[in-house]
Structures are given as C-alpha cells and as structure tokens.
Amino acid sequence: MTHHATATATSDSALAPDAGPPDAGPPDAGPPDAGAPDAGALAAGAPDPEEVYALGANPAETARLIRQSAELRPEALALLDELGLAPGRPDADPSARPGVGSAIDLGCGPLGILDLLSAVVRPGGRVVGLDADPAHVSAARQYAERRDLRGLDVVEGDARHTGFPDGSFDLVHARTLLITIPSPAEVVAEMARLARPGGWVACQEPDVEVVLCYPPLPACDALTDLFRASFERAGADLRIGRRVGGMFWDAGLEDVHVTVHANAYPAGHTRRTVIPDLVRSLRPVIVEMGLASAAELDSLDTAVREHLADPRVLMMPHLLVSTRGRKPELRTYRRLSSRLWRQRRSASARPRAPTSGRWRTC
C-alpha cells in the first residue's frame, strides 16, 4: 500500500456550496493528468481495479465519478448533517465546528467526499481516501494538492482488507462502493472494524430497482435492462441500498438509521443521464457479452438522450439510501459480540473462531 501525505490543515474553501470540483474539465474529458491505469503502479495488497470494479478503469469513468461528487453533494451534506457534522459557513471559525478527529472514505474514487471530510475534521485532524484504482488515487491526490487540502492522505488499497489498525477512525464512510462489490458484507465488517468504539460508520448506496422515466420510452427501458444485466454480471447487487441497514446490524453496529432520497433530476442536470452514462462505461462488457452491438447501443443512446432533453420528461434514475450507525462502546460491544458469537455457533454445524476477537485491541 502506498501512502501520500500533503500538508496539515483543512481548507474552508472546500465548503463552497454547489461549487463542484474545480478543474473537473468538460464532461467525458477525463481529469487532468489522470492518465491510463498503470498496472505497474499497483501497490502490494491493492486488487486489480479491472477485476474488482464492475465499471472498469478508464478516463471516461474517472470523469463520470468527478461529476458524481458534485451531483450527490446535497445528499452527502445531508448525511453529514444527520451525523451532527454539517460543515460550517466558509467564514465560520473552524475551532467552533463540532468536527471529528479522523475520517476515511473507502472507494473514494477520484474525489468522493474527501473535500467535505476535510472540512469536518478538526484542525490537526486526519482524512484518508482509499481506492483500488491507481488512476483514481492519482486524480484524488492531484485534487487535494490543487485545493491545498491538508491532513489528507490518499492511499491505494482494498476496502475489504485495508490494513489499518482496529478503531483507527472516528468516521468511516463509503459511497456507491458496496454496489460494485460482490461481497459487500466484507466491506461493512471492515468499516465496523476501522471505526473507533463510539465512532460512526456511514454509507450512501443506490437502489436501482425502481427507475422512473415518464412518459416511458422503450429505448430507455432497453438501456436500463442492458445496464442491469451487464452490471450484475460482475456480482454487483443493484438493490444494495435497501440491504445496508441489515448489514450494519449484522456487523455489530447500533443506533442504525436509514434515509431514502428519491430525486428526479431536471433537464440539463448531469445526473439525469446517469443510466446512459453508465452504459457507456459498460459498453465493452455489453458488446463482449453479446447483449447488444455497438450500433444498437449508439442508437439507444441517441434516443434516450433526446428523450431526456425534453424538460417535460420526469427522470428518477435511482433511489439513494443513506445508512448510518455507531460502533458500540467497547464494553457494550464485548457483550454484543459474545451474543452474536453464541448465535452463530448454534446456527452453524461447524464451530468457527469468534469474530469478536477482531475488536479486542480497540
């Protein structure tokens, strides 16, 4: 795992509402200098991004993720607000903010919510971004340098096995990571392990069962079906949003709360075309699977984008499910974990080692 450190204080300029990431470049242009993934740059312990990430590693997908950080900013701010961590006004005294001492964004992509986390850690605090894709790691580091986001490390690694010690962070966050991973419970268990006792674990994950396009368009249905079929091929669960709360309880978290955001995006909003955009990222997979030819994809893409350009059309491409929970204080957790262990032992024919051991060093 490689580590990268910049300097050490937070920048309130990161708080400018709706500012979006500067230098994001025009849509589909790719982030400056992000470059193509370099297999040689993969650190030991980091998985091959082509293997773990259903949407592939390429500059267009990196650019889409930079747009996503601006698109989902209101929901990210709402989540931080629920945690009592709403970033203050840009001119507010940073020492007066509630803040946390440390936070990590797992699967941060080229930006994720690193800018917002930098704004909610106390002065002298620490923010870590972790991603499997070296191109995303490099883009996130460049963003942090341009914005002079201090106290921020961006590291290459596997969200399922980060290698950080137990209880390292006050806040452990992931957004649209679990949906891309065939074994999301492993990531949730790692998130719970990384949180300090009493610390927060939070996820924002979509649920793409209900896509509302009205008036309907057969080409839109066809493109959505292609998205579902190709994305699920990699083991991704498109209904993950609704499952996260249960996974939090299973991982021994408590005080679990779920909020569902249902947004219809107006014409001109970049999130409105997220399904055709995702299909563009999945194009090689779709063609290789024989689900559609390149020419068919082009014609569906044109028809759907024309439809969505009409301001009278309503488009809700997904639900976004925010889930937050707390890691119990150590004494409570020990009680809870021994109960979980007894339950597991009686449910399983083969006795296993108690998972509670993972928490003992917290």
Ligand X SMILES: C[S@@+](CC[C@H](N)C(=O)[O-])C[C@H]1O[C@@H](n2cnc3c(N)ncnc32)[C@H](O)[C@@H]1O
> Which residues have CB under 8 Å from 350's CB, separation 6+?
none
Candidate residues 11, 58, 69, 273; the one interacting with ligand X per rule CB under 6 A:
69
Binding segment for ligand X (CB under 6 A), chosen from 144-152, 176-184, 245-253, 274-282, is 176-184
Q: What residues form DSSP beta bridges with 190?
A: none
Interaction of residue 58 with ligand X, rule CB under 6 A: no
Interaction of residue 177 with ligand X, rule CB under 6 A: yes
Looking at beta carbons only, is 135 or 340 nearer to ligand X?
A: 135
Strand order in the sheet with 319-326: 152-156, 121-131, 100-106, 169-175, 195-207, 319-326, 254-262
On the question of a cis peptide bond just before residue 317, with omega within 30 degrees of 0, the verdict is: no
Interaction of residue 272 with ligand X, rule CB under 6 A: no
Q: Nearest CA to 304 among 315, 293, 295? A: 315
Interaction of residue 159 with ligand X, rule CB under 6 A: yes
Candidate residues 30, 37, 49, 317; the one interacting with ligand X per rule CB under 6 A:
49
> Which residues have CB under 8 Å from 17's CB, separation 6+?
73, 77
Interaction of residue 230 with ligand X, rule CB under 6 A: no
Binding segment for ligand X (CB under 6 A), chosen from 31-39, 106-114, 250-258, 337-345, is 106-114
Interaction of residue 219 with ligand X, rule CB under 6 A: no
Count of positions (residues) in the chain: 362
Looking at beta carbons only, is 132 or 149 nearer to ligand X?
A: 132
Binding segment for ligand X (CB under 6 A), chosen from 130-138, 262-270, 272-280, 296-304, is 130-138
Beta strand spans in the chain (E): 100-106, 121-131, 152-156, 169-175, 195-207, 212-214, 254-262, 314-316, 319-326
Candidate residues 14, 132, 278, 300; the one interacting with ligand X per rule CB under 6 A:
132
Distance between CA atoms of residues 36 and 58, nearest Å: 6
CB-based contact 327:209 (threshold 8 Å): no
Mask for 179-198, x = binds ligand X (CB under 6 A):
-xx-----------------
Q: Which residues bind ligand X (CB under 6 A)?
A: 47, 49, 52-53, 65, 68-69, 107-109, 112, 131-133, 136, 158-160, 175-177, 180-181
